[in-house]
Every structure is written in C-alpha cells, then in structure tokens.
Amino acid sequence: MSFRQVIAKYFSDHAETNDLHTDPSLQTHYYKTTRDKGFNMLENLLQNNPKYSINSRSKEHGEISASVVKGKKAFIVATVIMVRPYRTAIDFSVTTESVLPFDFGYSHKMIQQLYSYADKELPLIKNRN
C-alpha cells in the first residue's frame, strides 16, 4: 500500500470490500457454499453475538444490515452473492458512527474480524478465479 492509502485507511470512518481492493485484507472472500448457507451463517453470527443488533435482513437480495451496539458504534452491511454453484462471495461495508470524521482503522479491523469468523465457519476458496 502506498503512503496515501495508509493515511486513508486510518483517517476515514468507512471501509468496504471489493474484488480489486488495493489492501489484500479488504478483498472479497469467496466460499465453497450456497448463498443460503452463507446468509444463515452471517445471520447467526450477528444474532447470537450481543455486540451486534440486526436492523434488517433481505434473504432475497442477500443483504443484512446490523449495528454494533457494544463498544465503538458502527453500521454494517453484509452482502452475500452466489457467483456460480458452490461459489459464494461475501462483502462487507462498515461505517463508524462518531463525532470525528475518522476512526483510526476501526472499520477496517471490524471487517477483518467478520472475515475471520466467516473463514472459520465456511470453506474458503483461496483464488478469485
């Protein structure tokens, strides 16, 4: 990562994942599972952890929105998309709610924590193609 990207990482209140992100830890993760199993895993994580509160869920669109209610407040949108049979992508978007316009990398760490949990629960596909 360039110096500018490092500065942007720590002095922003938002982080999201995508396929071609410059930061490898924020690249989309692909799992060998169905969309329903991926969605149910995320729903269980957010429902059973007192740190999170689910705001809305749309199984048809593969999206769950939740709030972090313990610790630093944040808003999470998780998207589950089945790319092809038994190849499902999970993306996150995290925005920190604070008075300051930056969160010192908290939203980035939150995505890493969510991916860490998903990687333990679902079989990760190493390459993107």
pTM: 0.89
3-state helix, strand, coil in the chain (%, to 5): 30, 35, 35
pLDDT of residue 104: 82
Break the chain into its structural domains and give their ranges.
Answer: 15-123
pLDDT of residue 73: 92
Q: What is the dihedral of CA 7, 13, 68, 46, to 10 degrees?
A: -70
Rounded Cα distance, 68 and 49, in Å: 10
Count CB-CB contacts under 10 A for residue 86.
13
Q: Across the 129 residues of the chain, what is the mean pLDDT of every consecutive 10-residue run?
A: 64 85 89 95 94 95 95 94 94 88 84 95 80
pLDDT of residue 101: 73
CATH topology of domain 15-123: TATA-Binding Protein (3.30.310)
